[in-house]
Amino acid sequence: MDAETLLSQSQDITAKITHVLQKRTQHAQRHLNERVIDALGLDHNDSVPASAAPAPFNPLNAWQYAVDAAQRSLLFWDTLYRRGNEFVERSVSGPTPVLHFDYDMLLDGRTFERPVNYALLQLRPLEGVGVDVRKRPYLIIDPRAGHGPGIGGFKDDSQAGVALRAGYPVYFVVFFRDPEPGQTLLDVCNAEQRFVRKVRSLHPDSPKPAIIGNCQGGWAAMMLASSDPDETGPIVISGAPMSYWSAAWSEGDGDNPMRYAGGMLGGAWLASYAADLGNGTFDGAYLVQNFENLNPANTFWDKYYHLYSNIDTEPPRYLEFERWWGSYYLMNREEIEWITHNLFVGNKLWSGGVKNSSGQTFDLREIRSPIILFASMGDNITPPQQAFNWVTDLYGSTEEIKARGQVIVGLTHKDIGHLGIFVSGKVAKKEHAQIVSVLKTIETFPPGLYGMTIDEVRNSAGEVEYVVEFHERRLEEISARINRFGRIDEKPFEAVAEVSALNQRLYELFAQPFVQAMANETGARMLRQFHPLRWQRWACSAMNPWLGWLPVAAQWVRDNRQRASPDNPWSKLEHSGSQMISASLDYFREMRDAAAEASFFSVYANMYATFLGKGIPDGAPAQAGAINPRELPFVRAALQAIGDGGYTEALARAAFLLSRKGESFPLARFELRREIAETYAEYFPDISFDHWRRIRGEQEIIVSFEPDEAIATLPKLLSDSEDRERFLQLLDKVTSDERVLNAPLDAALKTAVERIRAVLGPRVSRKRSARLPEGTRT
């Protein structure tokens, strides 16, 4: 590429970056103006104060507010003092999972031949609620991203609580603070496989266990399921970043600043450096600090002001959350380097670039159970693009999903943040409760990609109920919808990967030997203890002798509490001032993130265009939908086998021919299908769900592309007279079933039934046994 072309392309890139930066700045300024107007009580239209005149000065109001503010200050610091004492106690005794439920330990990974700091817990049943051991067990994997385990069972209204109240056996994968020497993420995956086999052995008469993975636990669950697909049931991954480079580079509101951190820090070498300073141990507090830096308004002001302004009621909730938030766990150098190189920067999990302990790659297409993806539009850690785009990258087309017999269900929340996906009681009652209730039905879905919606309605008694609906989608349409800029913003991350590899090599050659030579366990321990997140906790605890008076003073305040009136003008002024501070910090965050994004693309977009590619394209790349679907290998293979098969293939083909297409499906309709299938189970082949879905997917492709020939070749599939008679018996029974008649067949379905009967001819006998033909069972 000549110099003139390079200069022209650089100018184009700069113009795009400048345009987006201006939009970001305008949005930040508009947001600040709105917050300031609200804080001052002004009208948004003409900036007139909401009250006609300020309240006259009243010394009594001032005195009441002063007393109340002083008392709240003492109680506020006493709460932080109690937080610090709990932190010190947990640090000394060894932090335990912050589970709300009692439990028993079944397996301790520290005793395995390849020791890992993981364990399998069994949660005890709730009082008054029995557990049916024949029901599907649930296995919850919490994230190991700086904090300790237990967030999936943090409170009664949680993922674990929802399943326990429904009578399901619930198991929890936890981990200890200190890693075992030499353990790797592949060792952890092997240990989790043992956990799943243990659960299956305890429930031999139950369906395969459902695996629920939260955040980092989500891709751990996917690795587990792909490496051992015969042992795992449905996979539910919540807020799990599977496609790390993804997120729309949109205009206006800032998009996902965390994705730029690796590039702005020069790649993964910094994780290795931190682990070397820790004498081979990486401090999870660094990960927590990165999370806190995303929202300085909440980190430095909002959460503390909320505690201060509600000091009479808020401390128990605040301290409960801080028990988890303030527990910092450790990783080995090998673990954090594997994560940063393969996932954060490498983005290799879905692409087959990661190998298991046997040397085979993790192929997510080997997962046979349904996959439920739960993400939120308000999540700036794992936006929907990172949760869903791997499906596009891995499968490429809707037809391949169907041909492989895979069921993928997507569920999005409108605005909840990253932690809210796991912590929020409202999310547990709504989204997680409905996911648990529909898993059995989802297993019976035909292969494909589905969107799941949950609507709140009120019954005749005024109680809230949830209505679940599913909508079949095409992968190509979903990819275009959630990636507003055609994913061209992911190209510069290839340059980040190259720079990261170079910096890692330079660090290992020139700096790492000196850092490791100077590091020792005493220094590493001191670094951890004086990390800002730890220091702020133990410095405000009983370890600080200057604060010994605080508990006594706080108790005196509680005994003599004097609250200011809610309409006290000084209290209102305090609240307005708090809003102004919060708005200022939010403005700083938005401007910082906009500048970081612009800097990132200024460096890496130019670097990609100059050294790694032929330029950043102006529009979206060609999508799979632009290719003739008939040319896709899975479509060609299915069409070539249009006349191959037998009774099972004929049933699957007829099932699609007689299904309603292009409609949303309420959960009740899917459950009706399952009930009808159970009623006439003797007519169906005794095969696994995943085997049936693969056959159903192939037959759906055949019918979609060759509907006439699909019907014409049915006699070839049912060449055996007993098979044909049995097939027609089932057709008669289903079409005359009262449950089906209550939802009349439309014209298209009636025509399909008539054509099937016409091509197969009249039934020979209606008294034959419904015994399955030989060879249909597997």
What does the pLDDT read at residue 777? Answer: 35
Cα distances from 687 to residues 227, 233, 303, 483, 777, in angstroms, run 22, 15, 54, 38, 6
Burial bucket for residue 209 (CB in 10 Å: 0-12, 13-18, 19+)? buried
- Residue 135 CB contacts under 8 Å (≥ 6 apart), including other chains: 167, 168, 169, 206
DSSP state of 374: E
What does the pLDDT read at residue 743? Answer: 66
DSSP state of 566: T
Say how many Å lie between the first and final Cα of the chain, rounded: 59
pLDDT band at 776 (very low <50, low <70, confident <90, very high): very low
Is 592 a residue whose pLDDT tops 80? Answer: yes
Burial bucket for residue 47 (CB in 10 Å: 0-12, 13-18, 19+)? exposed
pLDDT tens by residue, 161-205:
999 999 999 999 999 999 999 999 999 999 999 999 999 999 999
CB atoms under 10 Å from CB of 427, counted, come to 21
Report residue 103: phi and psi, to 5°. -155, 165
What does the pLDDT read at residue 774? Answer: 40
Is 419 a residue whose pLDDT tops 90? Answer: no
Calculate the average pLDDT of the chain. 89
Among 282-291, 531-540, 632-641, 671-680, whose mean pLDDT is lowest?
Answer: 671-680
Is 334 a residue whose pLDDT tops 90? Answer: yes
Residue 95: in which H helix or E strand, if any? none
Cα distances from 743 to residues 514, 664, 749, in angstroms, run 76, 15, 12
What is the three-state SS of 588-612? HHHHHHHHHHHHHHHHHHHHHHHHH
pLDDT band at 766 (very low <50, low <70, confident <90, very high): very low
Among 173-182, 448-457, 738-747, whose mean pLDDT is lowest?
Answer: 738-747
Q: Which residues pair with 470 in a beta bridge?
A: 452, 665
Rounded to whole angstroms, the Cα distance separating 582 from 572 reads 15
Rounded to whole angstroms, the Cα distance separating 446 from 695 reads 10
**3-class DSSP state for residue 153?**
helix
Cα distances from 733 to residues 452, 652, 710, 730, in angstroms, run 31, 17, 22, 5
Q: What mean pLDDT comes out for the span 683-712?
A: 92
* Domains located in the chain, CATH noted: 103-249+332-447+474-492 (3.40.50.1820), 629-760 (no CATH)
C-alpha gyration radius of the chain: 30
Rounded to whole angstroms, the Cα distance separating 727 from 770 reads 9
Is 380 a residue whose pLDDT tops 80? Answer: yes
What does the pLDDT read at residue 460? Answer: 79
- 650: tokens are 């004929």
The answer to whether residues 760 and 732 touch, using CB atoms and an 8 Å cutoff, is no
What does the pLDDT read at residue 665? Answer: 72
Pair type for strands 407-413 and 371-376: parallel
pLDDT tens by residue, 640-664:
999 999 999 999 999 998 887 766 7
Is 314 a residue whose pLDDT tops 70? Answer: yes
Candidates 741, 737, 739, 748; CA nearest to 657 is: 748
What does the pLDDT read at residue 48? Answer: 54
What does the pLDDT read at residue 8? Answer: 84
The answer to whether residues 159 and 434 touch, using CB atoms and an 8 Å cutoff, is no
Rounded to whole angstroms, the Cα distance separating 496 from 600 reads 10
Entry pTM: 0.91
